[in-house]
Chains A and B, each alone.
Chain A
């Protein structure tokens, strides 16, 4: 019961933090839609083209937009000493990593999920694909948040090159893109592709707490 209370209080803090930084979330969404418009202007208005390319464009932009927010993942809490405070208040580094990952999913990825129907209309992604797109995004976004946690915690150890984290996320995102777009475009093997994506999700869930937790610990020791 005490643990559950602690979790709720942690998310209350995250909610307040994200609400005060709402303009960042809005900027990400704006970036996402402006990029869609740029694609539309550069490719042209032919609907048929988008029925082939739409899902790929959507997933690429979702990936790029969500990496925009990665710098904020741990950086602010690390710089103002709140990570240390949370640790001294009974939150292990591994638990902080797990909670922050879900916080990123809720406050950064869910707004993207809500904007998918509008983006689908703009890119002529049919209604029949919308359900599959939502499933693939739900799984893919959780994987991206886990990868984001690892890369952002690694960034705390490397203050000279912030872009390195984003590059790491992008490299590891290639299989996610392949399977996520596959889920939507390939009519057969839907269940097996979802299974593969779920497998990748479980692997990142298993690795994330230990990898991120170790990086957070070293970063606090070196600070």
Chain B
């Protein structure tokens, strides 16, 4: 589905990453590994078409990404390293906004079920600003379910999460791949979940 060939990105005469290729197809989980500042986020931004690579090409479903962008964006969910939830609103209000903005058909019973698994159901009426960093991260990951897209692109998804939640997320990745989805995520540490491919930056 997504093919990136020999991507190189230079900024201010500094090489951020060089000759990186990935092939992301249904059922695959790819991890981007590297130290802090190694260019993981920049690479993810490049395959999101937010940054233009200095050299190399990206294809989506066999066509150049730039010519098939609308379809590509319709098929992906991006979870950034920052939290996109609006802190002054409640958890429920954030979910309602996401459901509307991403035109999600997921019903509230299903969402509440997932919130229960993530131990977030009790915070449904609470403001996001009152949650802990881990709880905010879990809420952010709920967006994967709400958006229900094929490609999941995640930047440092396991930051601030406990081992139990990391395993749960790993299991979710596997289930998603069984349903013809695919995942690419970055991590500076080994999250101990099964992956199909590893890219070192």
Contacts and interface: CB of A to CB of B under 8 A. Distances in A.
Contacts of A160: none
Interface in A1-31: 2, 5-6, 9-10, 12-13, 16-17, 20-21
Contacts of B82: 79-81
A16 B83 contact: no
Given A84-B78, A88-B76, A221-B51, A17 B100 contact: no
B78 A88 contact: yes
Interface stretch (B18-26, B85-93, B169-177, B187-195): B85-93
A89 interface: yes
B88 A90 contact: no
B88 A13 contact: no
Given A16-B89, A88-B73, A221-B50, A82 B84 contact: yes
Interface in B88-103: 88-89, 93, 97, 100-103
B42 to A, nearest CB: 10
Contacts of B93: 16
Given A13-B100, A13-B101, A20-B88, A90 B50 contact: no
Contact of A12 (B84, B85, B86, B100): B100
A16 B100 CA distance: 12
B80 interface: yes
Nearest to B41: A223
Q: Is the interface of B mostly helix, strand, loop or mixed?
A: loop
A220 interface: yes
The dominant DSSP class at the A interface is: helix
Interface size class, chain B: 20 to 34
Given A89-B102, A90-B70, A90-B74, A16 B97 contact: yes
Contacts of B16: none
A89 B86 contact: no
B82 to A, nearest CB: 5
A9 B80 contact: no
Contact of A20 (B89, B100, B101): B89
A89 B101 contact: yes
A34 interface: no
A6 B89 CA distance: 21
B111 interface: no
Contacts of A20: 86, 88-89
B48 A10 contact: no
Interface in A79-104: 79-82, 84-90
Contacts of B89: 16-17, 20
A181 B73 CA distance: 47
B97 A13 contact: yes
B4 to A, nearest CB: 17
A84 B83 contact: no
28 contacts: A6-B103, A9-B101, A9-B103, A12-B97, A12-B100, A13-B97, A13-B100, A16-B86, A20-B89, A21-B88, A80-B82, A80-B83, A80-B85, A80-B86, A81-B82, A82-B86, A84-B50, A85-B78, A85-B80, A85-B101, A86-B101, A87-B50, A88-B48, A88-B73, A89-B73, A90-B74, A221-B50, A221-B51
Q: Which 10 A-B pairs have the closest CB atoms?
A: A9-B100, A20-B88, A81-B80, A81-B82, A81-B84, A13-B97, A88-B73, A82-B84, A9-B101, A85-B84
Given A17-B86, A89-B101, 13 more contacts: A6-B103, A9-B101, A16-B86, A17-B89, A20-B86, A79-B82, A80-B82, A80-B84, A88-B73, A90-B70, A90-B73, A90-B74, A221-B45
